[in-house]
Amino acid sequence: MLNHPGHDAALSGLWDVAQTLGGPATARAGAKPDDGPVAMGDLASLTTRMVGGDENAYRQFHALYFPRLRRYLLVISGGREEIAKEALQGAFLRVVRHIRRFADEEVFWSWLTVLARSAFVDEERRHRRYRSLLDRFLRRIEPNVAGAGDDADADLFQLLEQNLATLSADDRSLVARKYFTGDLVKTIAASTGVSEKSIESRLVRIRRHLRRNILARLNHEAR
């Protein structure tokens, strides 16, 4: 579905809302929103205004559905708050981009859970790729780090993101294509007009740079 012209403005204005999601909660997956089902006419009005990029409508939607969506994501993520929070933000962005008019609350809630689950799957995939990248950097150097668990993973993911941000735009793009998108070296070389050997050399240099910085930070924090 094509985005409505008002969506970009709504997305910009509501990003802070998506960043301030509530605290821990538990509930069974599949329940209705906290305030109960929205009346048919009210839901049609709400979603129509959301299609038009009405920021107040998005805030009303947030108040009605986001606490419940957060609990839904906590359930399907096995209680992992960090990945649930990231997936919830991804679900919010999907709502803004793909919202359409709904008159039936049950259908609307089902649609929201599909978006939420899709965002969760994407977040899981991103974490697996980060885990693979971290393993490549840290194995044989810090063997105790590789099996450190979810809390340590979250810290390592944060360190990796911080250090990726220090790379040049070209190097970040190369890392993303190789490790996150999964492109082959020969594919990257062909699309950039650079030899495979040159691409491999850059990847070695980037890995060494990231490994050195991450391990330096870990050793500093261990003192």
Tens-digit pLDDT profile for residues 195-217: 999 999 999 898 888 888 888 87
Q: Which residue has the higher pLDDT, 222 or 50?
A: 50
Q: Residue 4 above 80 pLDDT?
A: no
pLDDT at 137: 59
Residues 25 and 120 in one domain: yes
Task: Say how many domains are in the chain.
Answer: 2
Residues 116 and 145 in one domain: no
pLDDT at 9: 46
Residue 129 lies in a domain: no
Give tens-digit pLDDT for 80-95. 888 898 899 999 999 9
Q: Which domain holds residue 186?
A: 139-222
Q: How confident is the model at residue 110 (pLDDT cuts 50, 70, 90)?
A: very high
Give tens-digit pLDDT for 18-74. 444 333 333 333 434 454 556 556 899 999 999 999 999 999 999 999 899 999 999
Residues 192 and 119 in one domain: no
CATH number of the domain to which 185 belongs: 1.10.10.10
Do 135 and 59 touch, CB atoms closer than 8 A?
no
Residue 207 lies in a domain: yes
CB-based contacts of 168, cutoff 8 Å, min separation 6: none
pTM (2 d.p.): 0.56
The 3-class SS string of the chain reads CCCCCCHHHHHHHHHHHHHCCCCCCCCCCCCCCCCCCCCHHHHHHHHHHHHCCCHHHHHHHHHHHHHHHHHHHHHHCCCCHHHHHHHHHHHHHHHHHHCCCCCCHHHHHHHHHHHHHHHHHHHHHHHHHHHHHHHHHHCCCCHHHHCCCHHHHHHHHHHHHHHHCCCCHHHHHHHHHHHHHCCCHHHHHHHHCCCHHHHHHHHHHHHHHHHHHHHHHHHHHHC
Give tens-digit pLDDT for 153-180. 667 777 877 888 888 999 988 888 887 7
Burial of 81 (0-12, 13-18, 19+ CB in 10 A): middle
Q: Which residue has the higher pLDDT, 32 or 98?
A: 98
pLDDT at 208: 86
Mean pLDDT, rounded, for 139-151: 48
CB-based contacts of 2, cutoff 8 Å, min separation 6: none
